[in-house]
A and B are shown apart, each in its own frame.
Chain A
Amino acid sequence: MRPDPTSRPGSGPDRPRTGHSGHTSCDGHTTRTMIDTGIAELPRRVREMLADGHRLALAAAHHDGADAPGGPAIRVVYLFVKGPPDSRVELHVRLDPDTPALPSLAHLSFPAGRFEREMRDLHGIVPLNHPLPRRLVRHPHWPRGWYPMRPDAGPPPPFAEPEGPFPFLTVEGDGVYEIPVGPVHAGLIEPGHFRFSVVGETILKLKARLWFVHKGIEKLFERRDVARGLPLAERISGDTAVGHALAYCLAVEEATATAVPEPARRARALLLELERLHNHVADLGALCNDVGHGILNAQAQRVREQLLRLNQEVTGHRLLRGGVVPGGAAVRALPDPARMRAIGDDIRDIVALALGHSTVRDRFAGAARLDGRAARDLGCLGYVARASGVRVDARQAHPFLDYGDALTVPVHTSGDVLARFLIRAEEIDVSLALVETLAAGLTSGVTRAELAPGPASRSAHGLGPGPASAPGPASGAGRDDLPGRPGPLLKPGSDADPGSGLGPTGRLPGPGAGVGPGGPDVGPGVGAGSGTGIASGVGIVEGWRGTITTRVELAPDRTLARVKVVDPSFFNWPALPIALADTIVPDFPLTNKSFNLSYAGNDL
């Protein structure tokens, strides 16, 4: 890092620090710029970032203790990304830990407003002038004033008396009535409560109440070591084991400056497509089932079962757990091209039969339109965005592997259920082609690089006032120091021999180093958080539902200090009520299935 005097709140001019981060991208490294900014400067900077075409991918609060370089503070990190070409910029704001408050950015970015409500509920950070300062995560029976993500939160207290009913906006008028649905549903789906305000059969307003399955996953990550974090990441949303595990691993690898060998990156890309395949096929069938055309569902589930068995052969787990590991990938067998082609033929038959059925097509076409403007404003991701004409795909914007020509990203503009159906069908074709291409150059087995020991160990003593960059920190593994303090940007460790794990990047140590005084000159702190002495990394992955963003900070002892996960469902849930305005009630289940958002991934 460059010296950075600005790590204290509000101090001085903002200076970008360029952190190099892991070797996760196709060309071997990505860059992440970190900017410490004052509270007053924040709205202006965010406006600039958004105007520049970036989108807010993640906002997370961190509780820095007294031993942190900048002293105790609540540090809020806003991650903005854009691509291609891959661009990642972080704004770091430090808040007073006793009365944390932020100017609300909700007027600049809708997702920012949701992140602020989340931070308010979990960390107690007050968004000033928020247009909708209601609870988001915490249900009314959570005691007021208890913020589970604070370090001193302790075990969950007993539920308190609910503070009155959840404030649903009541729609009034002649013949308007409410239909409450859930949180327990008739099908085997996750819990969520929906409140429809309806006149006749037409939906005037839908309010979704989620976070019934808030499990405190981010809290569960804390203090785990990297290896034990993986099973947790795989279980964030059961159907997205690869997506979340990969985002987590990419973040950890960036934080430790580990170079992942190219074959392992190919294997990961292969697993990602296999996950997309089995989920998309299930959705195609479920969409047909929801319009009463059960035979295609039966056939689609048959194909899905073949894919799940294939997954079992490939990774030893039907949902592909265990395939992605920190530093690499483990593949037991590779899919046979002939078999994949047969599956592809089956799927194309199913799609053709569905689209050729006049009633099915009539139900899909024009149902629950989400227009492109709304999708863009809400920050939608994945097939929901691509069905509404918004081209977002992390495989293009934030690649960890060079896909070459094999990757095409289908986009439709009509935004209805039919478009979301077609996007899935076309993505299946792309995925099948990718699987074949990727498998061709692979051999089965485990390919992995040891995580570079460097950064973490060195920062072990990071708190010391001294320049962190001093070589040979207590914890040894001196090699991490390679980069040495002078080098602000280390080379991308792409050349790092996996086995040797040297973390060329010295990025993470920075922190300790960063310690206050040290300001300038202190280490290479590239990846470091704003002077916290903590190594950070970001993983961005195009999971089957959309772009997953995971940001990891490692403590000096290499345990996970903070893991923030953003499932695409967090961005897409608000789009569901928008799409449903003026739709009829009986079309809700079909629309909901066409979005197929994750409750677990959203609620965390």
Chain B
Amino acid sequence: MSAVGTVAVLAQIVVVVAGAPLLTGLMRQVRARMEGRAGAGVGQPWRDLRKLLRKQPITPVGTGPAFRLAPLLLVATTLVVAALVPLASTATPVRDSADLLVVVTLLALGTVILALAGLDTGTAFGGMGASREMTVVALVEPTILLSVVALSIPAGSTNLPTIVAHGVHDPARLASPASLLAGVALAVVTLAETGRLPVDNPSTHLELTMIHEAMILEYAGPDLALIELGAQMRLTVLLGLLTSLFVPWGIATGTAAAALPLALALFAGKVALLGAGLAAAEVFWAKMRLFKVPELLTGSFLLALLAVGASFFLPGN
């Protein structure tokens, strides 16, 4: 197990890092084509990153360690999550650490670091973005935790590989009311957590409407490249987590080396499909008024609550 498992972890990281900008590029391209535009091409985010990495690093006057460390910590936490989450294989050396609570906490840590960096700049936009982000996070985190509880009850564990493996071996569980409700709740909070429509508009230039972008307005050059990459990786990992939890088929559960390439390819395919679907759906959405966002998130919290209830009373099968 160790050799193949180690390879699987490394492969997951490589695929997430290399694929995250491509996923963003794919989503933008899908959106552009559906709107009747030519689009910049799937490779554009990578070209942007290359451009930014070559630029001179600049730090605004008066910023402290929080601003400087945030890009590194954001990418680092996301890399750890990419290693822990069973994207291609459930049988990895780190499986015992891959608890859902750990993953959620690491993702929240990245968000908090960014908010601190936004506050650290001392600008109105940084503070405004941080305040909005914290409002959203305060509503998102309980939903995630409840959904996790709902999913862990049938599997009897909050360990992610265990939950995923349970789903692979007992597919009927995936169609249980608890699983479906938790799935919808998690999907909604994924949109909020990654700053997609209808909560935030990733393509806007209007600084006053921004949430995620407002926090990072002061970043430039390589730091901005890391932030962008970190955000893209978070999106990839979260979409990957959704696919592993709700459509886990193809994921490697054993130590057979042959299953790994297939699992990686399927992972990439499923995430690309989900991302393209999300981008297509976004074409038909619009951004909600900021004060309506809590209503949406409260709705998803309710779904998560129902999922917990359902996991006790409607265990499926």
Contacts and interface: CB of A to CB of B under 8 A. Distances in A.
A177 B198 contact: no
A288 B286 CA distance: 8
Please classify how large the interface on chain A is, using the bins under 10, 10 to 19, 20 to 34, 35 or more: 20 to 34
Interface string A157-195: 000000000000000000001111100011100000000
Interface in B36-50: 36-37
Contacts of A585: 128, 208
B95 interface: no
Interface in A275-300: 288, 290-295, 298-299
A302 interface: yes
Contacts of B77: none
A185 B209 CA distance: 13
A133 B208 CA distance: 31
B316 to A, nearest CB: 34
B205 A186 contact: yes
B198 A359 contact: yes
Contact of A589 (B34, B37, B128, B208): B208
Contacts of A299: 35-36
Nearest to A587: B289
Given A186-B205, A290-B206, A177 B124 contact: yes
Contact of A359 (B34, B283, B285, B290): B285
Given A179-B208, A360-B286, A362-B292, A292 B36 contact: no
A178 B208 contact: no
B208 A181 contact: yes
B313 interface: no
B128 A292 contact: no
A295 B283 CA distance: 6
Contact of B289 (A187, A288, A295, A362): A362
Nearest to A288: B286
Given A179-B124, A180-B124, A294-B31, A186 B288 contact: no
A43 B25 CA distance: 65
B295 to A, nearest CB: 11
Interface string B274-285: 000000000111
A178 B207 CA distance: 15
A588 interface: yes
Contact of B207 (A186, A290, A294, A357): A186
Contacts of A357: 286
A293 B34 CA distance: 12
Given A186-B205, A295-B34, A299-B36, A584 B291 contact: yes
Contacts of B209: 290, 586, 589
Contacts of B285: 292-293, 359
Interface in B179-224: 197-198, 201, 203-209
B51 interface: no
A298 B37 contact: yes
Contacts of B203: 294
Lowest 10 A-B CB distances belong to which pairs?
A292-B287, A293-B286, A298-B35, A179-B124, A359-B286, A589-B206, A186-B205, A292-B201, A586-B209, A295-B35
Given A187-B206, A292-B287, 20 more contacts: A186-B206, A187-B205, A201-B290, A288-B286, A291-B286, A291-B287, A292-B286, A295-B34, A295-B35, A295-B36, A295-B284, A299-B35, A359-B285, A362-B288, A362-B289, A363-B286, A584-B291, A585-B128, A586-B289, A587-B289
12 contacts: A181-B208, A186-B207, A290-B206, A293-B285, A294-B35, A295-B284, A298-B36, A359-B285, A359-B286, A362-B288, A584-B290, A586-B290
